[in-house]
Structure 1
Amino acid sequence: MHKKNKTQNVLVIGDAGVDIIVHLPKIQKDNKTDFKEPFIIGGGTSANTAVSLKRLGINTSFLGTIGDDAQGKQVIDDFKNEGVNIDHLIVDRQVNTFSTFAFIDPLGERHPFIWPKNDLGFQKLDLSQIDDNAIHNATWIHSSGISMIDDTSARHSIINIFKQAKKRSIPTSFDLNLRVTDEIDPDYKNAIIETIKYSDYVLGSGEDEFYYLHPQKNWLDSAKQFSSKDRVLIVRMGDQGSIAIQGPKIIKSGAYPANVVDTLGAGDTYNAGFIASRLMRNDLSTSLSKANAVAAFNVTKKGARSSPTQEELEQFINEHTKH
């Protein structure tokens, strides 16, 4: 499945913006309010994965559209500082780079609000602006369902790129990142399922995501519907760890203990840990464990951009596996 004797170069496609982190205050026993100062960092589900991959030592390029605005300039600066290749990053004056107000409750759970709501850069991805070499020279391609929520050019371009990758035997991974509260829009669902057809690895949360694509009493049965010997489903389950489903085979890996500060970017950094491990020729069980460790490391710190370097990851794993 994986190409050999070629420099690793992961192409990450999708959304890049900024996160404005606001920790909701705790009410103390004396009724005083514990306020924490908000801060701004890079954000976006795909961008977070790209940065995390680069920190793990994987050559990473980003393909997506941002606006020619203050947030877009921060995206560029963040990518440059992290060493992510931005040769294929598209800057368009007609669109906006999004900001995500991430409200973090006292338990560390996130409550996001995206602004602005219109003319968002990550929804625009014109194939005519993309250098074919960006796709053909990749040793792995990854994207996120966030860019496919609405019927925009990004939805169709991502499907097209994954289709090209499949023809060229380039490994692909797709994080569902569904945003569904009740029912999923039929066209959106069909686009996601079409992308899954060309994906080697599909990542998501069990009852929160896979269920909506094929509702069953047991969400695990929902996930199994999309697995095959050639397509692996990776189900992230937070503090319960994660599992891999490949045809009839199910592999489980427990979570690492973590004192949660916030859960921003946990899934995005998990993706990077999994991809990096597979590119290092590790088996599925080892890759699940490595990904669990990356996510655990991330949630013990503030924001989505707290993923470890390879050295930090190895130290974290060693510290948590000592007897």
Structure 2
Amino acid sequence: MPEFDVLVVGDANPDLLLRGDVRPRFGQQEQLLTGADLVLGGSAAITAAGCARLGLRTALLTAVGKDFFGTLVRDHLASLGVRVLAVESGDTPTGLTVVLAEPDDRAMLTLPGTIAALRPSDVTAELLSRTRHVHVASLYLQPVLAAGLAGVFAAARTAGVSTSLDTNWDPTGEWSWMPEILPHTDVFLPNAAELLAVTGAASPSAAAEQLVANGATVVMKDGARGAQAWWPGGSCTAPGVPVQVVDAVGAGDSFNAGFLAARLSGRDLPSAVSWAAVAGSLSTRAAGGTAAQATPDDLPHP
């Protein structure tokens, strides 16, 4: 039995969430906020936290600095039951994202810092031997890792370790490396915009058809509508859960955690997609990505 059910690979940093009068006005004008929260951020870190809360033995391979923010991230993840496997990053500061949140939109200001420090060689054969599954997040914030991820996923497959990928958005719009990575990816977890951008298709179903033809499973986040999924020989949809939304930051990462928890506990794909949709919805009930993540009792059981 491997030591971990899931090894999450990617970013971990604090998020500073600001609410209220958040559109900056320069000229030394002071503005008053209605709320501010310093919470755990990073797609990989939030996914790892969600996996641990749902009962998976979870490790996070990440890079954080030797600074206050790095200590904050390590301690918070440890308190949530995540084993942090930290990569040395010298004197580079831990990354930080400032989220300017309005009721119907948000802007994000990110200091990359250590976020980009991971390398393909950090995902060693020894580390792969310790896990059942590898999930990678925030691909385009980590260009060195991204450039060699196809090889990492190929090695995982050879070792009998399943894989999943959530790219998040590519700020350059180029979507590099995807043609090389996707043939070695077992589950691709995009939102609708990302799925269309990666494939250039006219609709999500057409985009998924391209990827499924090569053997991938595609699980698409569909906002308040829930989720759609396609795999060789089947497809399904799953509704979200109506909630009073406080903050949608990290909802897609909690969605990922719900899906992984279901699959790694032996549930079939329709059940896993249902878990994902519910977990993503419930995570929006509080500020930050981890405060309202789903527990096993929150998820549907036949």
CA contact (8 A) 2:140 2:170 kept: no
Q: Distance in 2 between matches of 1:96 and 1:284?
A: 40
C-alpha distance 196-34 of structure 1, shift in aligned 2 (>3 A): same
Who is 2:156 aligned against? 165
Deviation of residue 168 (structure 1)? 1.6
Who is 1:148 aligned against? 140
Deviation of residue 131 (structure 1)? 4.8
Q: Does 2:227 correspond to 1:251? A: no
Pick one of 93, 104, 109 that aligns with 1:96. Answer: 93
Who is 1:226 aligned against? 211
For residue 13 of structure 1, what is the amino acid of its counterpart? Answer: V
Deviation of residue 280 (structure 1)? 1.2
> Where do 5+ consecutive residues of structure 1 fail to align?
27-32
Who is 1:29 aligned against? none
SS in 1 for 2:35: coil
CA contact (8 A) 1:123 1:155 kept: no
Who is 1:30 aligned against? none
Q: Distance in 2 between matches of 1:291 and 1:304?
A: 15
CA contact (8 A) 1:177 1:204 kept: yes
> Where do 5+ consecutive residues of structure 2 fail to align?
23-30
Pick one of 132, 136, 142 that aligns with 1:139. Answer: 132
Q: Distance in 1 between matches of 2:214 and 2:173?
A: 27
Alignment of 1:100-139 (within 5 A): 100-107=97-104, 109-115=105-111, 117=112, 120-127=113-120, 131-139=124-132
Who is 2:191 aligned against? 205
Q: Distance in 2 between matches of 1:140 and 1:63?
A: 13
For residue 39 of structure 2, what is the amino acid of its counterpart? Answer: I
For residue 239 of structure 2, what is the amino acid of its counterpart? Answer: G
Who is 1:13 aligned against? 9
Deviates more, 1:288-297 or 1:91-100: 91-100
Q: Does 2:202 correspond to 1:217? A: yes
Q: Distance in 2 between matches of 1:58 and 1:196?
A: 25
Q: Distance in 2 between matches of 1:67 and 1:242?
A: 36
Deviation of residue 164 (structure 1)? 0.8
C-alpha distance 74-219 of structure 1, shift in aligned 2 (>3 A): same
**TM-score of the aligned structures, taking structure 2 as reference length:** 0.89
Deviation of residue 263 (structure 1)? 0.6
SS in 2 for 1:37: strand
Q: Does 2:173 correspond to 1:184? A: yes
Deviations 1:37-62 (A, max 9, x none): 31101110001000110011100011
Q: Distance in 2 between matches of 1:270 and 1:203?
A: 9
Deviations 1:121-156 (A, max 9, x none): 121224555553211221010001x24346x42223
Q: Distance in 2 between matches of 1:14 and 1:158?
A: 12
Who is 2:71 aligned against? 73
